[in-house]
Structure 1
Amino acid sequence: MRGLLCPLAVVIAFATAPVLAQGDLLAAAEAGDPAAQLAIAERFENGDGVVQNYARAAQWYDRAAETGNREAANRLGRLYHAGLGVPRDLPRAIALLERAAESGKAGHLYDLALVIEAAQTDEAALTRAATLYRRAAEAGHLDAAVSLGVLLQNGKGVAQDFAEAAALYQRAADTGHARALNNLGLLFVRGDGVPQNYERAAKLFKAAADKGLPEALTNLGVLYENGFGVPQSDDLAAAYYRQGGQGVADPQQTDHLIYDVRLTPPPTDEAALKDLEKAARAGDPVAEFQVAYLVLEDDLRDPRRDIRAALMMHRAAEAGHAPAMANLSLLYFRGLGVPQDFVLGQMWLVLAGTSGFDGAAGLSAHWSGKMTADQINDAQARAEKKWAEWQNESP
């Protein structure tokens, strides 16, 4: 990867090769130390100092799990359930999660219950899931408390009990748990286990929506459309429906590109803009990033300008500019200036995170939810290959 000198009065730290692990840690892992193996696996899973790669994470989790490490068994089971880095294998996932749950750890109990509930619909399986959720909830696991509340609300695996469901939701809602806020709001809408109260429901939906829960945005839209607990407003209803469909409380989070906060704001006067464009034409990656950002953030769309701007963003990304990599990923996700391609979008997002862009994890959580496991695995393999190519080009 080649870093270029920038004529602007700014110094940009371009991506440098990450370090896999301290020599002692890697040596310990290779020698069979399960704690070291787990640590390296976590780095690959999270992209911490390495290019994120679930397949490599699974290999290290497997080695640690073979020694009896229950945390590794849990993490590996989750990967097998999702098909991330390994072929999806439900029996293998459940076996690993069962082994991990023997520890009695609340998170392990919850993960096993979640898979059992999702994979099986017979009453015995749902009863087992409810039992596991309850054990985890009693240990303070809020997600388990909310999941148990859902089973109680629907009478699945347990006797229907709206009052207990409401109590479980309330406990989690008091901590700001988005799903609990939304589910408690639904109980107030219907008057199940609590007095019917549309105003209370609207406040709960709004609190959940502010945390980005799409279902809460849609539920708010229903209240505004009908004037239940809020002033009737077709405009607000439409806005909440639209945001709920996009899956974000604030569409600005994904509709707008990212600016590099280490840089001064882009110039606005004509002379400075001409100098910036001249620097971009000369191949300065920071200038290319800034010019592309200005073009792509312009409300007036011109496909030809978008394509040229995307090319500049691509060149800045190839030069090692992490925010440019993040923006290029968004262009691929949205199909702006480039053909829409979620695999390439995720690839550039992985590279941005590896190169030090702090917002990669949040964006990845949003966009990977719209991808298949195979697409995510493909993106990570491409990212690792691209990173290796860059390192081979380095002097």
Structure 2
Amino acid sequence: MKPITAADISATTPEQLTALRAGPPEAYAAWIQAAADLGLLEAQAILGQMLLDGHGMARDPEAALGWFKRAAQADHLMSINMVGRCYENGWGVARDETVAAYWFRLAADRGLDWGMYNYAHMLRDGRGGVARDPAAALALYQRAAQSGHVKSIGVVGRFHEAGTVVPRDLEQAFDCYRRAAEGGDFRGMFHLGRMLLQRGRLDEAEPWLDRVSQTATPAFLREADAMLRDMGVAARYGAGTVQGA
């Protein structure tokens, strides 16, 4: 394959890049690698994710972390968050939730919705050396939700359903789950389907529950199965896998 030059990168139109993304992953990976080597921050973040996933190239979490750190040092917000994810999960480095919390807070303070979401987890659970503070966690989830972050919208629903920090409000919870489900969040889909079942609206619940396994993590599927069994309902979906949460 002919080496990709800086001139090639500069001459690539948005339409050509879209076509590259839709084509063989190896060709797209070569373009991204070249762009990352030239210092394009977005390309460095994408390359890190491709290395983490093994998409278009051999999976290499350690190299992925290196690219995330390189972009993070230039203030690329999603890369800052992804450094945290790597430390949280032990991707390419020893697992260290304290370091993860540092990076998540940095991303949250800079206004990144994913950073708010991940740092809120630390506050909610008291992890990573962060003092447990459900009220502060909810405030961050709400800030992220206001920007349209669907996973945060769903978590806000859980606070309303449980009556944690805020008064219990099942209608508010239902609305949050609906919005999260419509945004593609598997947790939102499940909780919306579960509440529809509780309301006797089986025909509306089934399509949402049937979609859960398409993107849900195995751990969440086990949790969801247990919740349905506690309701006396058999699970309506099989095992599904995704990377990340």
**1:101-136 deviation per Cα after TM superposition (whole angstroms, max 9, x unaligned):** 11022122122222332335x997222222212222
Residues 38, 64 of structure 1: 8 Å contact kept: no
**1:261-306 deviation per Cα after TM superposition (whole angstroms, max 9, x unaligned):** xxxxxxxxxxxxxxxxxxxxxxxxxxxxxxxxxxxxxxxxxxxxxx
Instruction: Decide which of 149, 154, 172 is 1:182's aligned counterpart.
Output: 154
Query: Which of the pair has the greater relative contact order for Cα pairs under 8 Å at 6+ separation?
Result: 1
Tell which structure's C-alpha radius of gyration is larger: 1
Counterpart code for 1:240 = W
Instruction: Decide which of 104, 115, 124 is 1:144's aligned counterpart.
Output: 115
TM-score, normalised on structure 1? 0.48
Residues 123, 156 of structure 1: 8 Å contact kept: no
- Partner secondary structure for residue 47 of structure 2: helix
Deviation at 1:214, TM superposition (A): 2.4
Counterpart code for 2:195 = L
Instruction: Decide which of 50, 57, 60 is 2:31's aligned counterpart.
Output: 60
Counterpart code for 2:108 = A
| 1:159 alignment partner in structure 2 | 131
- Partner secondary structure for residue 195 of structure 1: coil
Counterpart code for 2:53 = A
| 2:208 alignment partner in structure 1 | 240
| 1:126 alignment partner in structure 2 | 97
Counterpart code for 2:90 = A
1:76 and 2:44 aligned:
no
| 2:169 alignment partner in structure 1 | 197
Deviation at 1:84, TM superposition (A): 0.8
**1:124-175 deviation per Cα after TM superposition (whole angstroms, max 9, x unaligned):** 7222222212222222211221122222222221222211111111112223
**In structure 1, distance between residues paired with 2:17 and 2:148:** 27
**In structure 2, distance between residues paired with 1:39 and 1:84:** 24
Where in structure 1 are there 5+ consecutive unaligned residues? 1-25, 249-368, 373-395
Residues 205, 220 of structure 1: 8 Å contact kept: yes
Alignment size in residue pairs: 217
Distance 1:61 1:43, change over 3 A: farther
- Partner secondary structure for residue 107 of structure 1: helix
Residues 44, 56 of structure 1: 8 Å contact kept: no
**In structure 2, distance between residues paired with 1:151 and 1:45:** 37
| 1:326 alignment partner in structure 2 | none
1:208 and 2:180 aligned:
yes
- Partner secondary structure for residue 34 of structure 2: helix
Distance 1:125 1:37, change over 3 A: farther
Deviation at 1:201, TM superposition (A): 0.7
| 1:222 alignment partner in structure 2 | 194
**In structure 2, distance between residues paired with 1:214 and 1:103:** 33
**In structure 2, distance between residues paired with 1:43 and 1:170:** 36
Distance 1:54 1:163, change over 3 A: same
Residues 26, 56 of structure 2: 8 Å contact kept: yes
TM-score, normalised on structure 2? 0.73
**In structure 1, distance between residues paired with 2:190 and 2:136:** 25
